[in-house]
Each structure stands twice: as C-alpha cells, then as structure tokens.
Structure 1
C-alpha cells in the first residue's frame, strides 16, 4: 500500500498544530499516536514509512525543553517498578529471616522429639502413652 501523496504534508501540519498547542483532531499529547491521529494517518505511517518525521517530531519536542508524553509515562512506570522492586527486596529479606528461624525451630523440635522417644523406649520411664479418645464426629 503506497502512502497518500499529501501524507507527509499532513504530518508536518499536524506536528505544527500539536507543537503550537492547537490540535484539531487529537488530544494534543506529545506522542506518535496523537500525531498520527492529528494528521489522520495510521500510526504505522510514522513508525514505518516516515521515520524521519517521527524523529523530527521528537527532536522538536526536546528542543523546546519539553518531554514527550510517552517518555513521561515510561519514567513514571520506572519509578513505580523501582518501588515495587524495593518492596519485593524487603519482603524477600524478611522471608529469608523467617526461614532461618523456622529451620532452628524444626531442629530444636527434632532434638526434643528424639529425647522423648528415647525416654519412651526406656522401661523405667516416667513418660506414659495416654489412650486416645475417638473423635466426636467419627463413628466406630
């Protein structure tokens, strides 16, 4: 599919309108999506056919000291992901500490269990096995 003959002109005009803050067909965001909408062209016209215009648009945005909206969103997402990573790191540290404590408890209980089994095996043991009582909901 070949581009419309006036496509580049429409994109340039749309760039001017967006950069002047007077969009007519889009929300005026400093993004390729808004530029494509403003120029009434498919987005892939800017990402595949007219890369020079896309790069020129972003260069003009940066030269005016502005940051493209897509970059702002990405920076916000980076901040959020760093916060989540810090939370995950703290949780992982706590879980490792908990595992260490649980290993110690299991070891202590294993030692006590061995001692009790040893005491049970001795004939003169003061430890006695108590009879078990049936569960109230269980039938015999």
Structure 2
C-alpha cells in the first residue's frame, strides 16, 4: 500500500468514527480505534502520519468530546487529590495528638520527679529490687 492510499484510508476511517458508523473498530474516538478502523498498525499513526493523528484529536476536541483516556486520567487525578486531602487532614490530626501526648508526658515526668523528691519526707522507703544472689542467700 502506498502512502497516499494509506492516508486516504486513515481519513476515511476518521470520517466514519466521527460520524459514528465504524466498520472495523469499537467506534471509540481514540487513536487505537482509528488505527483499527483504518486497518493499520497504531505506530503508523503515531510515527508516520503524526499530522493525521493530530488532526483526528483536534476534530475530536472540537466536537467537545473528551477521549476516554483523558477522562480516566482526570477521574484518577480527582481521586488522588481527594486522597491527598484526606491524608493531609489525618496528618494534621495526628500531629495535634502527638503534641498533646508530649505535654502529658512532660507533666507526668515533672510530677514523678516531685514525688520521688518527697518520698523520704512522707516516710516512704524506696524498695530496691533484689538481685538473685541476695534472694537465694
């Protein structure tokens, strides 16, 4: 097949897809479907006839149609942004919890130190753990 015949076939496939009357593909407005409709390999469109690929995308956009691949990417991006927002909210919440717990630990440390200092005054004897040799002896 010569290049002009190939280009004519691609243009005819483009027209069929845009008209909604595919013969050889699923009718989706994608490069894969255009290649199937034109009965050429996808790389023929993406490497050899880049101008026709760009023309097809321009016509699809002009019709206000968002290609499935772009729609899926936009949905994925929106979902990722929601997850990020949720994660950032949870991080902020956990950071607040950490600060609160650090304050509690500091207060308990001060109170513990104060109690240890007052133990002799209160008549409390500090019991030291026995070693094994003392317990057996």
- Length-normalised TM-score, structure 1: 0.75
CA-based RMSD: 2.3
Segments of structure 2 that go 5 or more residues without pairing to the other structure are 130-137
Partners of 2:13 and 2:125 in 1: CA distance: 91
In proportion to residue count, which structure has more helix?
2
Partners of 1:45 and 1:104 in 2: CA distance: 67
**Superimposed CA distance per residue, residues 39-98 of structure 1 (whole angstroms, 9 cap, x where no aligned partner):** 232222222221111110011112222222222222222221221121112111111111
Partners of 1:11 and 1:128 in 2: CA distance: 96
For residue 27 of structure 1, give the secondary structure of its aligned residue in structure 2: coil
For residue 26 of structure 2, give the secondary structure of its aligned residue in structure 1: coil
Partner of 1:31: 30
Q: 1:69 to 1:129 in 2, by over 3 A?
A: same
Partner of 1:86: 85
Partner of 1:114: 113
Partner of 2:58: 59
Deviation at 1:131, TM superposition (A): 8.8
Partner of 1:105: 104
Equivalent positions of 1:39-54 (< 5 A) are 39-54=38-53
Residue correspondences, number: 127
- Length-normalised TM-score, structure 2: 0.76
**Superimposed CA distance per residue, residues 11-51 of structure 1 (whole angstroms, 9 cap, x where no aligned partner):** 22221121111122222111112222222322222222211
Question: Which stretch of structure 1 is more off in the superposition, 95-104 or 62-71?
Answer: 62-71
Segments of structure 1 that go 5 or more residues without pairing to the other structure are 133-140
Q: 1:110 to 1:61 in 2, by over 3 A?
A: same
